[in-house]
């Protein structure tokens, strides 16, 4: 666990970067620090591994005051990932990953073996190890950055806008990978971003900062979206925060019924009962037509369901089991009603 207790940071030029911050970042959870630039989120992160020294207050990692530890040793015990990866351009990927183990005095052979193992963990091919960072794509470099941070298996991982410089498709992939890794590793992660969608996707808890280094609200994504503390947070979450909340809810509780037998459009299934497409019969005025169907599982979000119900010609979504076989359909009204209930519940819940 990481604890901030009345932490204040004023830079020599007089600007206050962090104002009287008290915050707990729970063990094994992802805490995301969000806010516009200059709000103190990066400074907050960098005080944890003493890349920035607090002006007053205490920061404890695992119960120990960070300022009472040797800065270099402290940093070796905390994983650190930065934007643009910050890889060493003169070292191979494998040697980049082996940095901290080598600093800790491991033998070169053992450090390299560990690095090779991590290549696989972060989803890189083994032959990437012999390459130099500039020979990799931005997304691959970022994976190496994560592998380097994990090399000595630190309990805490600090990530400073790690996916800020890659394109949206790669960013989503990297976020998925991080969630998958976190399921296996259960690190205490502190993640800085200015992207609220990224925060909602990754965070167990989100801390929203305002210019001047003030923490405005710290809550779970669902609570933050349902009950923003003030207009600043509400504005920051954006006009679609109702929809974002739906991205956190699954389809599991929405009732489903049998697929309709009659009507203009019918759902065409294959031999294994998997939905293929929507089909309209030809009449004397219209030609027959087909529209694609995107079947949804119980684990898909309400947002995806709402989206599909709008795209569907019948307002119905096709529900399938893990194997992809049809279990039933849900209507636009069912989804809408359920979404509304979920909202109300979230907003009145204590």
Partner 1 sequence: MYELFSNLGAWLVSGEQWSGPDGIGHRLAEHLQYSLVATLIAAAIGLPLGLLIGHTGKGAFLAINLASFGRALPTVGLVVLVFLAGGLSMLPVYVALVALAVPAIVTNTYAGMTAVDPDVKDAARGQGMRGHQVLFQVELPLALPLIMTGLRLALIQVVATATIAAYVSFGGLGRYVFDGLAQRDLVQVLGGAVLVAVVAVALDLALSGLQRILFRHRTA
Stretch that binds partner 1, among 83-91, 237-245, 256-264, 284-292 (CB under 8 A): 83-91
> Least distance in Å: CB of 165 to partner 1?
11
Alpha-carbon gap, residue 118 to 125, rounded angstroms: 10
Number of residues that bind partner 1 (CB under 8 A): 24
Question: Are 192 and 46 contacting, i.e. CB atoms less than 8 angstroms apart?
Answer: no
Question: Are 59 and 7 contacting, i.e. CB atoms less than 8 angstroms apart?
Answer: yes
232 contributes a contact to partner 1 by CB under 8 A: no
> Least distance in Å: CB of 84 to partner 1?
6
Q: What number of other Cβ atoms are within 10 A of residue 97's Cβ?
A: 30
165 contributes a contact to partner 1 by CB under 8 A: no
Q: What is the end-to-end Cα distance of the chain in Å, rounded?
A: 25
Alpha-carbon gap, residue 59 to 36, rounded angstroms: 23
When binding is defined by CB under 8 A, the residue of 49, 307, 309, 331 that contacts partner 1 is 49
Nearer Cβ to partner 1 (42/256)? 42
Alpha-carbon gap, residue 300 to 303, rounded angstroms: 8
Alpha-carbon gap, residue 324 to 91, rounded angstroms: 46
> Least distance in Å: CB of 77 to partner 1?
8
Nearer Cβ to partner 1 (7/45)? 45
The contact pattern for partner 1, residues 129-148, with x = CB under 8 A and - = no contact, is: ---x-x-------------x
Alpha-carbon gap, residue 31 to 189, rounded angstroms: 6
> Could you tell me which residues are beta bridge partners of residue 31?
190, 205
Alpha-carbon gap, residue 134 to 92, rounded angstroms: 10
87 contributes a contact to partner 1 by CB under 8 A: yes
72 contributes a contact to partner 1 by CB under 8 A: yes
Minimal CA–CA distance to 201: which of 34, 15, 22, 12? Answer: 34
106 contributes a contact to partner 1 by CB under 8 A: no
When binding is defined by CB under 8 A, the residue of 100, 115, 147, 237 that contacts partner 1 is 100
73 contributes a contact to partner 1 by CB under 8 A: yes
When binding is defined by CB under 8 A, the residue of 63, 89, 105, 288 that contacts partner 1 is 89
Residues 249-278 that bind partner 1 (CB under 8 A): none
12 contributes a contact to partner 1 by CB under 8 A: no
Q: What number of other Cβ atoms are within 10 A of residue 184's Cβ?
A: 8
52 contributes a contact to partner 1 by CB under 8 A: no
Stretch that binds partner 1, among 25-33, 78-86, 249-257, 278-286 (CB under 8 A): 78-86
Nearer Cβ to partner 1 (90/287)? 90
Nearer Cβ to partner 1 (88/106)? 88
Q: What number of other Cβ atoms are within 10 A of residue 227's Cβ?
A: 15
Task: State the sign of the Cα–Cα–Cα–Cα dihedral 171, 139, 220, 9.
Answer: negative
When binding is defined by CB under 8 A, the residue of 52, 74, 222, 289 that contacts partner 1 is 74
Stretch that binds partner 1, among 61-69, 98-106, 249-257, 304-312 (CB under 8 A): 98-106
When binding is defined by CB under 8 A, the residue of 1, 52, 103, 216 that contacts partner 1 is 103
User: Residue 276 in 3-state DSSP?
Assistant: strand
Q: What number of other Cβ atoms are within 10 A of residue 285's Cβ?
A: 5
The residue ranges that bind partner 1 (CB under 8 A) are 49, 51, 72-77, 80, 82-90, 99-100, 103, 132, 134, 148
């Amino acid at each position: 666990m990481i604890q901030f207790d009345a932490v204040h940071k004023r830079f020599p030029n007089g600007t206050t970067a962090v104002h009287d911050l008290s915050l707990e970042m729970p063990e094994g959870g992802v805490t995301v620090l969000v806010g516009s630039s200059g709000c103190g989120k990066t400074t907050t992160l960098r005080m944890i591994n003493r890349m920035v020294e607090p002006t007053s207050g205490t920061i404890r990692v695992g119960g120990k005051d960070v300022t009472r530890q040797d800065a270099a040793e402290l940093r070796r015990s905390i994983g650190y990932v930065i934007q643009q990866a910050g890889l060493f351009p003169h070292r191979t990927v494998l040697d980049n990953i082996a940095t901290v183990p080598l600093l800790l005095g491991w033998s070169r052979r053992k450090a390299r073996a560990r690095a090779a193992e991590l290549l696989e963990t972060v989803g890189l091919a083994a032959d990437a190890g012999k390459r130099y960072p500039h020979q990799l794509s931005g997304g691959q470099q970022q994976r190496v950055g994560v592998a380097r941070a994990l090399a000595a298996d630190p309990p805490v991982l600090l990530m400073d806008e790690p996916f800020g410089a890659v394109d949206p498709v790669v960013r989503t992939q990297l976020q998925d990978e991080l969630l998958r890794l976190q399921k296996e590793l259960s690190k205490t992660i502190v993640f800085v971003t200015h992207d609220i969608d990224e925060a909602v996707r990754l965070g167990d808890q989100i801390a929203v900062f305002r210019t001047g280094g003030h923490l405005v609200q710290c809550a779970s994504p669902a609570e933050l979206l349902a009950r923003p503390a003030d207009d600043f947070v509400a504005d920051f979450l954006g006009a679609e925060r109702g929809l974002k909340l739906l991205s956190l809810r699954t389809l599991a509780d929405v009732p489903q019924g049998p697929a309709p037998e009659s009507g203009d459009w019918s759902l065409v299934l294959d031999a294994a009962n998997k939905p293929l497409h929507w089909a309209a019969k030809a009449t004397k005025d219209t030609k027959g037509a087909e529209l694609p169907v995107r079947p949804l599982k119980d684990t898909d979000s309400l947002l995806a369901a709402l989206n599909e119900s709008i795209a569907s010609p019948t307002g119905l979504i096709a529900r399938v089991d893990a194997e992809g076989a049809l279990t039933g359909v849900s209507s636009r009204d069912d989804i809408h009603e359920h979404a509304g209930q979920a909202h109300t519940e979230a907003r009145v819940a204590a």
